[in-house]
Amino acid sequence: MGNKALSAPVVSGKTYTININGLGHSGEGVGRYQDFTVFVPQALPGETVTAVITTVKKTYATGRLVTVDSPSPHRIAPACSLYTQCGGCQLQHISYEEQLHVKRQQVIDALTRIGKLTDVVVHPTLGATNPWYYRNKMQFPVGEKNGKVAVGCFSQGSHDIVDTDNCMIQHQINNDIAREVKAIITDLGIEPYNERTGRGIIRHVLGRVGTATGEVMVVLVTATDRLPERQALINRLQANIAGLVSIVQNVNPKHTNIILGNKTATLWGSDTITDKLGEFSFVISARSFFQVNTAQAETLYNQAVKYAGLTGSETVIDAYCGTGTIALFLARQASRVYGIEIVEQAIRDARKNAVNNGVTNVEFVVGDATLIMPQLFKQGIRPDVIVVDPPRAGCEQKVLETFAQMEPKRIIYVSCNPASLARDLAALAGMGYATREVQPVDMFAQTFHVETVTLLQREETTI
């Protein structure tokens, strides 16, 4: 009896009818079969679907969608013919308007379930004017498939390359780069990298496009220093890629999933390209971090400035400042901004960006925020506002405690992960900071990712 109660009611390889009642955090449908949870990618809430079970665990199973027996009114035909094979997008089968609702709900669910925060205003998601062809940065693996060169995205949950001629979320020039590099490698007989054997030359192709300037960079990631047919390759790219100003080789000899290696050399043209966010120009190298959706990044940063409520007299700390993008937006309306970042190259870029844009009321410091912020405090620096845009994992407890000890009136938390955001907001609530409102921003249309800007206020400063 006890064993029977513990066994799953579904069997791998068999087909079942499942009612879908929600979406998981990766955009997959979540349904129940005899009160047992089944995840079905590309199924939607409110649908009844037929799915074949692919894996069975103790508390859940996953299935592959076979047929949609009663479709959701929000279901649409995916625009991309590779959608079901490719792992790059997860929400193309949902109308764009509904994608925005889904992302808002994802944030609400995380706040209530993980953060236990129930009285927070979560605004409607700010959508993109154009939810297609928006990515200014491409990084496609290069390999071999059926005896031919393949360039594209990995298939969902695997390292099988889906040969991609026209990725519908990439800037069209990045698609031009992918097609041209594939043709060049084929024509010149340059061996693509095989990650199983470690043989071959070209591992990845990266494209970077300055959407405001039209400047283009091509980065070829190779497994060896040697790049056969180097000059012929350069000539072909120069002739066929509009706006090209930079061709860079990055060498990564390691057996690793990390794309870029430590060695970078410019083969032709400039070391960098330039792009603009709002009124500011930014210099971007092969390794620079820069938001992949330029138009929506501007929306995001303007929202952060709005929540900061600056009048011109405030001191602001940007605790994970990267290359200084948010810091420069804040500096327009603050008295003084301090940017902190542990990556030295990013701080060098941030300082360069400040100089290039004539911004003099910002200071960038290399180091760990938990060490630098107490030092600033000892120097008498009292932030009115702290802005934080941490990695996907969120902030360590020690970082949050450091924020609270500095007693800013407001904390502006920019996040790309609702789960870690909710956890951190709950921790800050225990330190006297109440979450007032959250603004989701759709930076990554057609995918399950959602960016948010959150306003927290110190309890003593609220009425």
For position 6, what pLDDT does the model report? Answer: 59
Which residue from 183, 180, 192 is spatially nearest to 147, judged by alpha carbons? Answer: 192
Q: What is the mean pLDDT of residues 360-388?
A: 95
In order, the DSSP letters of 371-424 are HHHHHHHHTT---SEEEE---TT---HHHHHHHHHH--SEEEEEES-HHHHHHH
Q: What is the pLDDT of residues 401-432, one digit of tens each?
A: 999 999 999 999 999 999 999 999 999 999 99
Domain ranges for the chain = 2-70, 102-129+293-461, 137-284
Q: Report the candidate in 90, 92, 124 with the shortest Cα–Cα distance to residue 108.
A: 124
Answer whether CATH 2.40.50.1070 is correct for domain 137-284.
Answer: yes
The pLDDT tens digits of the residues spanning 176-220 come to: 999 999 999 999 999 999 988 989 999 999 999 999 999 999 999
Please give the distance of CA 329 from its chain centroid, rounded to a whole number: 20
Q: Distance between CA 319 and CA 387 in Å, rounded? A: 6
In total, the chain counts a number of residues equal to 463
Ranges 101-115, 278-292, 322-336, 424-438: which has the least confidence: 278-292
- CB contact at 8 A, 247 and 191: no
Could you write out the DSSP letters of every residue in 306-327? HHHT--S--EEEETT-TTSHHH
What is the pTM assigned to this prediction? 0.91
Q: Contact, 43 vs 68, CB < 8 A?
A: yes
2-70 and 137-284, same CATH topology: yes
Tokens 């693509």 belong to residue: 192
Do the Cβ atoms of 79 and 168 come closer than 8 Å? yes
Which residues fall within 8 angstroms of residue 235, CB to CB, at 6 or more apart?
Answer: none
**Architecture field, domain 2-70:** Beta Barrel (2.40)
CB 299 within 8 A of CB 277: no
Is 416 among the catalytic positions?
Answer: yes
More confident residue, 146 or 314: 314
CATH ID of 102-129+293-461, from 2.170.190.11, 1.10.287.1770, 2.160.10.10, 3.40.50.150: 3.40.50.150
What is the per-residue pLDDT for 161? 93
Tell me the one-letter amino acid at 64.
R
pLDDT at 3: 42
Q: Which tens digit of pLDDT belongs to each residue from 227-244?
A: 999 999 999 999 999 999
Q: What is the mean pLDDT of residues 319-335?
A: 95
Q: Cα–Cα distance between 296 and 132 in angstroms, integer? A: 12
The token duo for 132 is 């297609």
∠ CA 157-162-165, rounded to 5°:
145
